[in-house]
């Protein structure tokens, strides 16, 4: 089957990214947007664009409305991107029922791997190590009993959770009792499910994930790993590929584990298998993300594989173009999530108008963004406004090039995390590739303004004053 027209059920930089892939493949790209997004870059970049809602969120979150529009506009496929409906099995099923190719796994696989307890069982059947944990819990009494068996600290998790939501660390009985109803409430509101489970908390692990591709002909390969250990409150900030903390032996081992998980659940399309690596260098399966990841970019940089194009080809029924022995990596890549947040003010979102924007460039530098000078960042969505991706032949060159690229990138009118990343980049532990998921919490001093951030703050204030004076 040939795909000729794709509806992109998303917004922002990932929608721009998908539209570019479609256009390179001579496929028409159709964008959707809310009233708040009418001036967004993804609307301008698509071949066609349709307002799906006046409400900022409901249009992006209604699978029936999205698929109806795909049918009405003559699309033969739908790409969900990440976030929103990307891991919603209902969307995949409605697409199938309406004759629209869903660019992702089947609804059944999404349900199975979206249920974290079932995903753990799939990993166990594939002989992939998992952290000690439980099935879905009936009540707080069972939770307390199981926590005593596993041993504190434990993680209380929503079975259908994701994106850092529906998850709490509990160090003792008191914290488990306090968090139990909170997590259930949060899970119900965010994911429509009240089911929760417990997992042994691995203290300050390294967070390593593996990109996989699988077609409908039984072929499954991995594209090596990414290190996502630099994170705050379970939200990733900086990602690296490959991990500078792994040996080649570990790299091959974890890649094989990921392929076994994907094969075990009958996976199809692009996906990511996430692991924790403890102080004893033991890997534990954590979960599988059944969609393209925000950080897919750095895997593309080190392997040369266009993951979004491969997603579309797989959805069209084509075989993978690569065997595992044809996949290799070259150099190192880093992705910096440029968030419109103020690190000095507890990372408070900084929405508003971008008075001036200068993208980074030069050798080995890529920027995926949906912003431009004069664009108003709406307050209804995630605070990430751009992704800075840097590639270099070795780790030392990556550090140097990343520093130069961060200095090159300037966004005026809103506060961003750029100065914070500069501070992280200069920390000796990061430069020595010696860090884990506790790095950000252990170094609160890195939120302090650098010289550049002070200059940006002054420039932003001046720009705002000039704009106000001019009546803009």
DSSP code string of 145-202: HHHHHH-SSEEEEEEEEETTEEEEEE-SHHHHHHHHHHHHHHHHHHHS---EEEEE--
Catalytic pick among 101, 206, 291, 415? 291
Q: Are 70 and 179 contained in the same domain?
A: no
Provide the 10 A C-beta neighbour count for residue 163: 15
Q: Is the pLDDT of residue 413 over 80?
A: yes
Of the candidates 16, 9, 8, the residue with the CA atom closest to the CA atom of residue 372: 16
Assigned domain for 114 exists = no
The domain that holds 307 is classified in CATH as: 3.30.470.20
Assigned domain for 125 exists = no
Residue ending a domain, choose from 147, 179, 200: 200
Q: Are 260 and 325 contained in the same domain?
A: yes
* pLDDT band (50, 70, 90) for residue 453: low
Residue ending a domain, choose from 54, 87, 103: 103
Q: Is 17 an active-site residue?
A: no
Q: Is the pLDDT of residue 470 over 70?
A: no
> Which pLDDT value is given to residue 55?
95
Cis amide prior to 153 (ω within 30 degrees): yes
Q: Give the list of residues 6+ apart from residue 37 with CB closer than 8 angstroms, or none.
A: 11, 43, 56, 378
Assigned domain for 49 exists = yes
What is the value of pTM for the model shown?
A: 0.90
Q: Is the pLDDT of residue 123 over 50?
A: yes
Mean pLDDT over residues 244-264, rounded? 98
Q: What is the DSSP letter of 320?
A: P
Instruction: Find the range with the poorest average confidence among 9-18, 82-91, 283-292, 450-459.
Output: 450-459
Concatenating the DSSP letter of every residue in 12-49 gives: HHHHHHHHHHHHHTT-EEEEEEEGGGTT-HHHHHSSEE
Helix (H) or strand (E) holding 441: helix 439-442
Q: Give the list of residues 6+ apart from residue 47 with CB closer than 8 angstroms, or none.
A: 19, 23, 28, 29, 30
Mean pLDDT over residues 213-217, rounded? 98
Q: Are 227 and 334 contained in the same domain?
A: yes
Instruction: Share the mean pLDDT of the chain.
Output: 94
Q: What whole-number percentage of the chain has pLDDT above 70?
A: 94
Residue ending a domain, choose from 167, 185, 200: 200
Q: CA 285, CA 296: separation in Å to the nearest integer?
A: 19
Contact criterion met (CB below 8 Å) for 291 and 80: yes
Q: Are 188 and 311 contained in the same domain?
A: no
> Which pLDDT value is given to residue 160?
79
Assigned domain for 215 exists = yes
Domain count of the fold of the chain: 3
Q: Is 368 helix (H, G, I), strand (E, B) or coil?
A: strand
Q: Are 304 and 405 contained in the same domain?
A: yes
Mean pLDDT over residues 119-147, rounded? 94
**Polymer length of the chain:** 472
Q: CA 108, CA 114: separation in Å to the nearest integer?
A: 10
Q: Give the list of residues 6+ apart from residue 248 with CB closer than 8 angstroms, or none.
A: none
Assigned domain for 110 exists = no
Assigned domain for 119 exists = no
Q: Are 309 and 431 contained in the same domain?
A: yes
Q: Are 329 and 351 contained in the same domain?
A: yes
What distance lies between CA 132 and its chain's CA centroid? 25
Q: What is the DSSP letter of 326?
A: G
Q: Is the pLDDT of residue 164 over 80?
A: no
Q: Is the pLDDT of residue 448 over 60?
A: yes
Q: CA 213, CA 208: separation in Å to the nearest integer?
A: 17
> Which pLDDT value is given to residue 454?
47
Q: Are 253 and 295 contained in the same domain?
A: yes
Q: Are 215 and 186 contained in the same domain?
A: no
Contact criterion met (CB below 8 Å) for 418 and 338: yes
Q: Are 299 and 428 contained in the same domain?
A: yes
Residue span of the structural domain in which 187 resides: 132-200
* pLDDT band (50, 70, 90) for residue 181: very high
Q: Are 310 and 439 contained in the same domain?
A: yes
Two structure tokens written together for 238 = 């900086």
Assigned domain for 372 exists = yes
Contact criterion met (CB below 8 Å) for 209 and 274: yes
Place of tokens 């797989």: 314
Assigned domain for 263 exists = yes
* pLDDT band (50, 70, 90) for residue 466: low
Contact criterion met (CB below 8 Å) for 119 and 112: yes
Of the candidates 362, 400, 405, the residue with the CA atom closest to the CA atom of residue 387: 405
Q: Are 337 and 408 contained in the same domain?
A: yes
């Amino acid at each position: 089957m040939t795909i000729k027209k794709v509806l992109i059920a998303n917004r922002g930089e990932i929608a721009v990214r998908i539209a570019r892939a479609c256009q390179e493949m001579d496929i028409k790209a159709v964008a959707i947007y809310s009233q708040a997004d009418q001036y967004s870059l993804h609307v301008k970049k698509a071949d066609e664009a349709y307002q799906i809602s006046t409400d900022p969120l409901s249009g992006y979150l209604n699978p029936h409305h999205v698929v109806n529009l795909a049918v009405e506009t003559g699309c033969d496929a739908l790409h969900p991107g990440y976030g929103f409906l990307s891991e919603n099995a209902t969307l995949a099923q409605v697409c199938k029922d309406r004759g629209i190719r869903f660019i992702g796994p089947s609804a059944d696989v999404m349900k199975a791997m979206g249920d974290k307890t079932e995903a753990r069982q799939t990993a166990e059947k594939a002989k992939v190590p998992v952290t000690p944990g439980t099935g879905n819990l009936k009540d707080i009494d069972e939770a307390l009993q199981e926590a005593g068996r596993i041993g504190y600290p434990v993680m209380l998790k929503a079975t259908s959770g994701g994106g850092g939501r529906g998850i709490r660390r509990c160090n003792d009985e008191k914290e488990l009792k306090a968090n139990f109803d909170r997590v259930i409430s949060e899970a119900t509101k965010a994911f429509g499910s009240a089911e929760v489970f417990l997992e042994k908390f691995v203290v300050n692990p390294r967070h390593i994930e593996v990109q996989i591709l699988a077609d409908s002909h039984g072929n499954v390969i991995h594209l090596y790993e990414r290190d996502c250990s630099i994170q705050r409150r379970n939200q990733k900030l900086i990602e690296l590929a490959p991990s500078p903390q792994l040996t080649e032996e570990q790299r091959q081992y974890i890649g094989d584990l990921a392929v076994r998980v994907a094969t075990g659940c009958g996976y199809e399309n692009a996906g990511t298998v996430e692991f924790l690596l403890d102080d004893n260098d033991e890997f534990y399966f954590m979960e599988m993300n059944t969609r393209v990841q925000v950080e897919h970019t750095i895997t593309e940089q080190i392997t040369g594989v266009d993951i979004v194009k491969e997603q579309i080809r797989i959805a069209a029924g084509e075989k993978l173009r690569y065997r595992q022995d044809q996949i290799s990596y070259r150099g190192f890549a880093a992705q910096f999530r440029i968030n419109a947040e103020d690190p000095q003010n507890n990372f408070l979102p900084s929405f508003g108008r971008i008075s001036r924007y200068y993208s980074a460039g030069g050798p080995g530098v890529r920027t995926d963004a949906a912003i431009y000078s004069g664009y108003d960042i709406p307050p209804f969505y995630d605070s990430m406004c751009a992704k800075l991706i840097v590639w270099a032949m070795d780790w030392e060159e990556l550090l140097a090039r990343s520093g130069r690229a961060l200095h090159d990138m300037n966004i005026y009118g809103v506060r961003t995390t750029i100065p914070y990343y500069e501070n992280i980049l200069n920390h000796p532990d990061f430069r020595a590739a010696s860090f884990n998921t506790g790095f950000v919490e252990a170094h609160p001093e890195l939120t302090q303004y650098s010289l550049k951030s002070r200059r940006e703050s002054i420039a932003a204030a001046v720009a705002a004053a000039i704009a106000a004076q001019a009546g803009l």
